[in-house]
Amino acid sequence: KILNVDLGERSYPIHIGEDVTASIGSLLADRGIKPGTSLLIVTDRNVAALHLDRIVGLLGQAGYKVGTYIAEPGEATKSLAVLQDIIGTALDTGLDRNSVFIALGGGVIGDLCGFAAASYMRGVRFVQVPTTILAHDSSVGGKVAVNHPKAKNVIGAFYQPEIVIYDTKLLLTLPPRDVRSGLAEVVKHGLIWDEDFTSWCNENAGRLLSLDLEALGEALYFGCKVKAQVVSEDEKENGLRAILNLGHTLGHALEAVAGYGELTHGEAISIGMVGAARLAGKMGYPGDIHTVTKALMEKFQLPVVIDAAYSTDDIMSAMQHDKKFRDGKMVYIVPTAIGKVKIDSSVSADMVRAVVDELK
Ligand code: NAD
Ligand code: ZN
């Protein structure tokens, strides 16, 4: 299946399906990346062990010159130090402005490689080959970044790929925890956009958790479709795009307080989405939003409570540091029904604090 991210001259396709990487060479050529072009594949050690040789082989057969950069797995890799190392490899291997970077991995690799591409020689083309479920979210939309020791994703850019090549077969090797984590973000796309898809997720949770490729293909198609639509309307998050942050204000705070890696991104936003639903209840929206959201997260075996070891004060102050606070007011994405959210800039810190305490 093919989707399009509609950004005028910078529009690009997303190819989703079983074994789509088999034709990676012709997909690149169709996007004007001609055989003979130098490519740098950026990946991590886990993905390299499982999938790199095959991709290098396919690209080599198609006539591309292929170099590789293999990073350590994990969030710590999204750093300026690793970025500099990648640029060093690009220089050593003689990559020029016509070369292309390829992100082969999850969100960490996509964000890192995308930012490397955005900055190398003031910008070279790049391609996303996502290998996690979560990366349906990170590979579409053009937000690329590395972390600063003080805050996540603060050194970055909006920089769109030439194409996203999403092979569901590559997901079969994912560890169960990353499967669940990625599915949290899939469910999020239903909760913000479409009640029917939310019901579909509920009915197909078992198939998705057991990596049924047909179900996965459908879920990723829907998730990418929502993301593509939202990004097409609001590329740089001046308005609508903020709805994608459902569960993320609290989720990011929990990730920071827990220490990155302790809670996965999906686990953190699962709790965040339950929190947002609770908040909605306090604001007078129907109580079933909370019941449905919580049951859904539990069905996907995701956490729905905050570990009592994390202090409410720490969580609150982590939220104040979140870039979603503007002019001293808290911008919160509040579900108003299943499949609908609103961007609310009047949520009081007291109300949020009460929700955090109740989630423990
Ligand atoms: P990740 O890239 O760290 O991947 C998770 C783990 O799975 C890693 O250990 C990785 O080595 C392993 N892995 C990846 N593919 C595999 C495969 N096919 N088989 C086996 N193991 C595999 O993390 P993630 O969960 O994909 O992404 C999280 C990152 O994405 C965060 O840094 C977050 O900030 C970012 N993100 C960015 C956006 C965006 O819009 N740019 C959106 C959401 C998340
Ligand atoms: Zn997210």
- Are 168 and 204 in the same domain? no
ipTM of predicted complex: 0.99
The yes-or-no verdict on residue 335 having pLDDT over 80 is: yes
- Residue pLDDT, tens place only, 267-325: 999 999 999 999 999 999 988 999 999 999 999 999 999 999 999 999 998 888 765 55
Domain end marker among 136, 155, 173: 173
- Are 44 and 18 in the same domain? yes
Within 6 Å (CB) of ligand 1, which residues are found? 44, 46-47, 50, 73-75, 78, 105-109, 111, 131-132, 134-135, 137-138, 141, 143, 153, 170-171, 173-174, 178, 181, 265
Domain end marker among 173, 196, 227: 173
Q: Relative to the CA of 185, which ligand 1 atom is closest?
A: 43
Find residue 198's DSSP bridge partners. none
Total domains in the fold of the chain = 2
What 3-state class would DSSP assign to 306? coil
Q: Is 265 a catalytic residue?
A: yes
- Are 266 and 252 in the same domain? yes
- Residue pLDDT, tens place only, 17-44: 999 999 999 999 999 999 999 999 999 9
- Residue pLDDT, tens place only, 165-208: 999 999 999 999 999 999 999 999 999 999 999 999 999 999 99
- Are 156 and 280 in the same domain? no
- Are 214 and 166 in the same domain? no
CA dihedral 279, 326, 317, 264 (to 10 degrees): 70
Domain end marker among 155, 173, 191: 173
- Are 162 and 219 in the same domain? no
The CATH number given to whatever domain includes residue 265 is 1.20.1090.10
C-alpha to C-alpha distance for 189 and 80, rounded to whole angstroms: 31
- Are 187 and 306 in the same domain? yes
The single-letter code of the amino acid at 277 is A
Ligand lying closest to the C-alpha of residue 186: 2
- Are 250 and 321 in the same domain? yes
User: Which of 101, 97, 33, 31 has its CA nearest to residue 63?
Assistant: 33
pTM strictly above 0.90: yes
The CATH number given to whatever domain includes residue 61 is 3.40.50.1970
Please pick, among 189, 225, 248, 290, the residue that the annotation labels catalytic: 248
Please pick, among 15, 51, 136, 252, the residue that the annotation labels catalytic: 252
The yes-or-no verdict on residue 261 having pLDDT over 80 is: no
> Would you state the pLDDT for residue 325?
57
Cα of 188 to ligand 2 centre, how many Å?
A: 9
> Would you state the pLDDT for residue 151?
80
Q: What range defines the domain where residue 142 resides?
A: 2-173
Helix (H) or strand (E) holding 258: helix 248-258
- Are 261 and 329 in the same domain? yes
The yes-or-no verdict on residue 72 having pLDDT over 60 is: yes
- Are 222 and 241 in the same domain? yes
Share of the chain above pLDDT 90, in %: 80
User: Which of 1, 22, 11, 5 has its CA nearest to residue 221?
Assistant: 1
pLDDT band at 328 (very low <50, low <70, confident <90, very high): low
- Are 212 and 318 in the same domain? yes
Q: Is 143 a catalytic residue?
A: yes
> Would you state the pLDDT for residue 323?
56
- Are 33 and 71 in the same domain? yes
